[in-house]
């Protein structure tokens, strides 16, 4: 008997159908953040990364042209099982001598990305880029008191909506457009109200542009603090949740954007009760929103469990969001993406109904024993079977090292 067949039997004894789990997982789409490949730099400006986020490390071989980034993405995609979507930021516009500033971006500046995605049968998600740009004034964009600055960024949002609709039309797959602004203050503000009021007004202005809501899902991402923005962020959790539910858009939770003892896994159920869809940025914060590579750790598993246990795979937009420049960037992509998939598989291999029943009946002794027992079930054999069925090699390091030697280290 193969290791998979044995594992299948053991899981069946626990009440879990491994075939069903494998079939479900292969249809789950993960939106892959393009910005791991070049340390969140993009192609439209020479400004250094701003907005209170930071990439550290200087590993050789970062992509600095569209061709390089596409090639690196291909390498990463080839080593990751399952369905993928490409997640782009507006700063990844590709200009052919027709530079346009952020407030004037057009669908044509993303045509090469559309060709790329279509060739690979993928959809595209999108993010307006409200950082690393001279029009970020005093750390503010959509909440700026300067009318010119605020108008510039409103226009950017509107153009991005048009580009998102273009992506959906071209690929035939809906586009998730995520709005995140870095706006905030380093020190104690005198007025916490007015910046949020201006942010609200700006969002209203952007979203008053007609767009097809069956093709573009607008999400709004909250944050608790950023580097240099420690005391106040305009787009706080309360703001983004209230705005989203009131205006029929989708809230996005990034699990690096809360106080360290606050867990996104605990928030998912509440959001599912009040929203048709929710969105996630899966990341790993170490002591702060450090955007480390996602591991197969407790919180990643718990997040996956919350999605699967409540039968919400079709209601949650799952995207990755991390950037590590201290290790091979392709390995960073592959490791993190595989770990999200592992966490989902682990959740699909958990007898949730049985365990919910134990909780309902107050059988907490039995529940704890079962929760602990399942941890030593032969998960690795099912994962190996998944990779094999997807035609993906288990060992990815050797291939990445070869690519590093042949391609990455030769880049200047």
Phi and psi dihedrals of 252, rounded to 5?
A: -120, 130
- Residue 281 interacts with ligand RNT (CB under 6 A): yes or no: yes
Could you say which of 127, 275, 328, 339 contacts ligand RNT (CB under 6 A)? 127
Place of tokens 């909780």: 359
∠ Cα 251 256 261 (to 5°): 105
SS3 content of the chain, % helix, strand, coil (to 5): 45, 15, 40
Candidates 76-84, 162-170, 313-321, 325-333; binding stretch for Zn ion (CB under 5 A): 313-321
Q: Which of 44, 125, 183, 321 binds ligand RNT (CB under 6 A)?
A: 321
Cα distance between residue 228 and residue 149, in whole Å: 20
Q: Which does 40 bind (CB under 5 to 8 A by kind): ligand RNT, Zn ion, none?
A: ligand RNT
Q: Does 221 bind ligand RNT (CB under 6 A)?
A: yes
Distance of closest approach, residue 403 Cβ to ligand RNT, in angstroms: 24
Active site residues: 180, 221, 223, 254, 257, 281, 289, 291, 321
Nearer Cβ to ligand RNT, position 22 or 278? 278
* Alpha-helix residue ranges (DSSP H) falling in 31-110: 66-78
Q: Taking CB under 5 A as the rule, which mask of x and - marks residues 227-256 in contact with Zn ion?
A: ---------------------------x--
40 binds ligand RNT (CB under 6 A): yes
Contacts of residue 65, Cβ cutoff 8 Å, sequence gap at least 6: 43
Integer Cα distance of 154 and 158 in angstroms: 6
Among 125, 306, 321, 385, binds Zn ion (CB under 5 A): 321
Burial class (CB in 10 A: 0-12, 13-18, 19+), 201: middle
Cα separation, 397 vs 87, whole angstroms: 24
Query: Looking at 62, 281, 284, 292, which residue binds Zn ion (CB under 5 A)?
Result: 281
Q: What residue 35 binds from ligand RNT, Zn ion, none (CB within 5 to 8 A, per partner kind)?
A: ligand RNT
Do the Cβ atoms of 264 and 280 come closer than 8 Å? Answer: yes
Neighbours of 210 (CB within 10 A): 8
170 is an interface residue for Zn ion by CB under 5 A: no
Residue closer to ligand RNT (CB basis): 180 or 403: 180
4, 11, 35, 403: residue in contact with ligand RNT (rule CB under 6 A):
35
Residues that bind Zn ion (CB under 5 A): 254, 281, 321
């Amino acid at each position: 008997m193969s290791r998979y067949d044995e594992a299948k039997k053991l899981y069946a004894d626990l009440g879990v159908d491994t075939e069903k789990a494998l079939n479900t997982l292969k249809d789950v789409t993960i939106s892959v953040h393009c910005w791991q490949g070049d340390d969140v730099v993009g192609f439209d400006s020479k400004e250094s990364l701003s907005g209170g986020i930071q990439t550290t490390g200087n590993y050789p071989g970062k992509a600095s042209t569209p061709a390089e980034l596409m090639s690196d993405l291909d390498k990463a995609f080839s080593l990751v099982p399952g369905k993928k979507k490409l997640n782009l930021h507006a700063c990844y516009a590709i200009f052919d001598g027709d530079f346009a500033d952020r407030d004037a971006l057009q669908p044509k500046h993303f045509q090469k990305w559309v060709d790329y995605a279509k060739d690979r049968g993928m959809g595209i998600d999108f993010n307006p880029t409200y950082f690393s740009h001279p029009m970020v004034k005093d750390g503010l964009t959509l909440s700026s008191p300067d009318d010119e600055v605020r108008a510039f960024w409103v226009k950017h949002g509107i153009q991005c909506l048009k580009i998102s609709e273009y992506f959906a039309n071209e690929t035939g797959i809906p586009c998730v457009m995520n709005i995140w602004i870095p706006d905030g203050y380093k020190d104690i503000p005198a007025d916490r109200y007015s910046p949020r009021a201006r942010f609200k007004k700006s969002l209203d202005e952007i979203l008053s542009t007609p767009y097809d809501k069956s093709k573009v899902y607008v999400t709004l991402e909250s944050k608790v603090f950023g580097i240099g923005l420690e005391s106040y962020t305009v787009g706080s959790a309360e703001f983004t949740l209230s705005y989203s539910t009131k205006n029929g858009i989708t809230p996005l939770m990034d699990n690096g954007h809360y106080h360290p003892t606050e867990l996104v896994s605990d928030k998912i159920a509440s959001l599912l009760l009040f929203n048709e869809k929710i969105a996630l940025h899966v990341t790993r914060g170490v002591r702060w929103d450090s955007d480390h590579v996602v591991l197969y750790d407790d919180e990643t598993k718990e997040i996956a469990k919350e999605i699967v246990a409540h039968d919400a795979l079709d209601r949650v937009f799952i995207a990755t969001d991390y950037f590590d420049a201290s290790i091979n960037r392709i390995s960073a992509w592959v490791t993190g993406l595989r770990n999200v998939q592992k966490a989902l598989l682990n959740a699909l291999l958990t007898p949730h109904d049985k365990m919910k029943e134990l909780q309902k009946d107050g059988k907490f002794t039995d529940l704890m024993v079962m929760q602990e027992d399942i941890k030593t079930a032969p998960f690795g054999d099912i994962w190996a079977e998944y990779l094999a069925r997807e035609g993906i090699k288990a060992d990815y390091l050797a291939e990445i090292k070869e690519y590093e030697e042949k391609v990455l280290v030769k880049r200047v």
